[in-house]
Structure 1
Amino acid sequence: MKALVVGKGRMGQLLSAHADSFGMHSLGCCDVLDPALLLDHKEEIDVILDFSHPDNLDWILDEIEGTNIALVEGTTALSEAQKQRLAQQAARQPVFYSANYSYGVAVFQKLLKTITPLLKDGFDMELVETHHNQKADAPSGTALALLEAMDPDGEFERVYAREGVVGKRGKEIGVHALRGGTIAGIHEVDFFGEDETIEIKHTATSRMIFVNGALKAARFLTDQQPGLYTMDDLLR
């Protein structure tokens, strides 16, 4: 099984370096500014893992159109139009999309889907995410996915940080982003009730949990029909 990584950052380098431990041969890392690996090896690529920048996605989808190449998409901050195009592409070839490839975060989302309906009427909800000082987007893609798990119907206003005289809180979920150091990722959701608090927290101590999850997703796709797959499918 031959894999190509799009993205030359830390995550891309780790994916390429550890592909062999999941039974894959990595052809290396490329991007839209250095496309030779994709253009020259298109006939032999089985799967592409994209952990780069949203600007690369349209180029990737154009290049794999009409091929049997599967796509593992892990780039965050995709636009709604890009997500729709991913879904359209999935009608023709296997596509795996997640904002976070950690098994623990996938379970976190399942927990939130279960407990939030039980708590939302009597508890105030806040979400805090923390990442390293090189992360470009805020809030993180994982934080947005957790928000979706908590409030899929958009009942609550999203309040991104607070400043000034904001008055008492309304029907809202507070969202806060912290940046510093080399932290791989911390996500915490707090439910504040009358005289009681429930805290759920996930801490990533290494990017390897995302690397392992993405490579498992790539291996999973080799046996799948065209479709859009998520971490829920991998957990099952």
Structure 2
Amino acid sequence: MRTDQQPLRLSLFAPDGRMGQAIADAAGADDEFEIASDHGDVLIDFSAPAALRQSLDRAVSAAVPLLVGTTGLDEGHHELIREASRTIPILVAPNTSLGVALLADLVERAARVLPTADWDVEIVEAHHRHKADAPSGTALHLGKSVEIGRSMDCKEELGRSGVGLKREPGEIGYAAVRGGTVAGDHDVMFLGPDERLVLSHRAESRAIFARGALAAARFLHGKPAGLYSMRDVIGG
């Protein structure tokens, strides 16, 4: 229970979605939280890119923090988020798993230590048959961690097909697998001379994302306006 004995009230922008239902279930099992039927202390959006402007307007109008867990956002969406973050605190997380947040930190550290000239990076992800975007937002987020570690922009190879292919030094390759009910698998492979380092995460249910969303909402409450990430939540 929070120190003031009042549960943190969460508003779900898309309460009927898979993640909305998972977050409601997680909040129902934790007396630090409750789902608000009107305006809550934090707004959570796990909907679709087309709905982002609406959730941003709602959060800004209510002057409440916003957690954006939507994937498939483009640069235009991120510009809208940056503009709104001047007014309210916003946390953008393509994956709210605490384990993935730690994985991203480890990937960045590995990319910083392992020489780019000798170590290639490939990212392989697998998700359920209904996932609409590829590569996953998490895979791209992990690729960004590689770029931060290497202090460089890396060319993206979004799936290979054909003959006579040649890998360019420093590029990041992505491969996406879709099928069944896979909640989310991610492997970041550092492939060097005579050795490989593989950093992996396996999601076994959406419950891990829901619990991470609760942790992110707890972190956001009371924060000043600005742009935050799951790395802030885990103290990275």
TM-score range, shorter chain: 0.7 to 0.9
1:22, CA displacement in angstroms?
A: 5.2
Structure 1-normalised TM-score?
A: 0.88
Offset from partner CA, 1:152-171 (integer Å, 9 cap, x none) = 45543211111111333222
For 1:9, the equivalent position in structure 2 comes to: 17
1:16, CA displacement in angstroms?
A: 1.7
- Aligned residues of 2:26 and 2:207 also touching (Cα < 8 A): no
| SS in structure 2 of the partner of residue 72 of structure 1 | strand
1:26 is matched with which residue: 19, 29, 35?
35
Structure 2-normalised TM-score?
A: 0.88
For 1:72, the equivalent position in structure 2 comes to: 67
Verify: 1:139 aligned to 2:139, yes or no. no
Q: Name the CA distance, whole Å, in 2 between partners of 1:173 and 1:231.
A: 23
Q: Name the CA distance, whole Å, in 2 between partners of 1:70 and 1:204.
A: 27
Offset from partner CA, 1:49-70 (integer Å, 9 cap, x none) = 1001111110122233342221
1:92 is matched with which residue: 82, 87, 104?
87
For 1:121, the equivalent position in structure 2 comes to: 117
The 1:48–1:22 alpha-carbon spacing in structure 2 relative to 1, beyond 3 Å, is farther
| SS in structure 1 of the partner of residue 35 of structure 2 | strand
1:183, CA displacement in angstroms?
A: 0.8
- Amino acid across the alignment from 1:6: F
Q: Name the CA distance, whole Å, in 1 between partners of 2:26 and 2:204.
A: 18
- Amino acid across the alignment from 1:64: A
Q: Name the CA distance, whole Å, in 1 between partners of 2:217 and 2:31.
A: 9
- Report matched runs for 1:1-236 at 5 Å: 1-7=8-14, 8-20=16-28, 21=30, 23-27=32-36, 41=38, 44-119=39-114, 120-152=116-148, 154-171=152-169, 172-236=171-235
- Amino acid across the alignment from 2:96: Y
Q: Name the CA distance, whole Å, in 2 between partners of 1:211 and 1:204.
A: 12
Q: Name the CA distance, whole Å, in 1 between partners of 2:118 and 2:31.
A: 46
For 1:36, the equivalent position in structure 2 comes to: none
- Aligned residues of 1:22 and 1:215 also touching (Cα < 8 A): no
The 1:116–1:22 alpha-carbon spacing in structure 2 relative to 1, beyond 3 Å, is farther
Q: Name the CA distance, whole Å, in 2 between partners of 1:101 and 1:72.
A: 10
- Amino acid across the alignment from 2:107: L
Structure 1 stretches lacking a partner, 5+ long: 29-40
Q: Name the CA distance, whole Å, in 2 between partners of 1:57 and 1:193.
A: 40
% identical aligned pairs: 39
Offset from partner CA, 1:174-198 (integer Å, 9 cap, x none) = 1100011111111001122222111
What is the aligned length?
222
